Amino acid sequence: MKCPYCNYYDTSVLDSRDSEDLGSIRRRRECMKCEKRFTTYERVDMVDMIVMKKDGRREQFDKKKLMTGMLKATEKRPVTMDQIEKAVDEIERELRKRDSIEIPSKIMGEFVMNKLKKLDEVAYIRFASVYRSFDDLETFEKEVKSLLKNKGQVS
């Protein structure tokens, strides 16, 4: 690590600890030449994922886009921002666990629907109606009945 003060290349690590979010390591360093101290953060550089759309297009995974979709589905529903952020983080973690960095949009949509179903059933139906392109009232009714049937089995 190069010293930010004198550009000398030899520094020693005085202290290392995980950051609060556990996403990086905070290191306190000292330059061996000028003896000034500074802090660095080390984190894993994640490989970009590619989303493969239904029409064959490919686009870079965008966490903000995922968040926006979930926010639209949960609008005016009793779901907190913390719950949404946690769900988005969990979805991203699950996607990154897959063998390939190319993720079919269908897989991502299923992950989102599973999270929304646990968070809020109305938000789930909202998302599913757009994602699955409900063409008529019967398809919508069938999904609601399926949700109610499964809810009855769990209770």
Q: Is the same domain home to 66 and 134?
A: yes
Is 0.95 topped by the overall pTM?
no
Task: Please give the residue range of the domain that contains residue 137.
Answer: 50-145
Degrees (nearest 5) of the Cα angle 82, 84, 88?
115
- For residue 106, being part of any structural domain is answered with yes
CA pair distance 135, 132, nearest whole angstrom = 9
pLDDT, tens digit, for every residue of 2-32?
A: 999 999 999 999 999 886 666 789 899 999 9
Q: Is the same domain home to 64 and 125?
A: yes
Q: Indicate the number of domains in the chain.
A: 2
SS3 state of residue 99: coil
Q: Is the same domain home to 36 and 57?
A: no
pLDDT, tens digit, for every residue of 37-58?
A: 999 988 776 778 999 998 999 9
Q: Is the same domain home to 110 and 74?
A: yes
CA pair distance 19, 26, nearest whole angstrom = 6
Distances (CA, A) of 119 to 8, 36, 58: 52, 50, 29
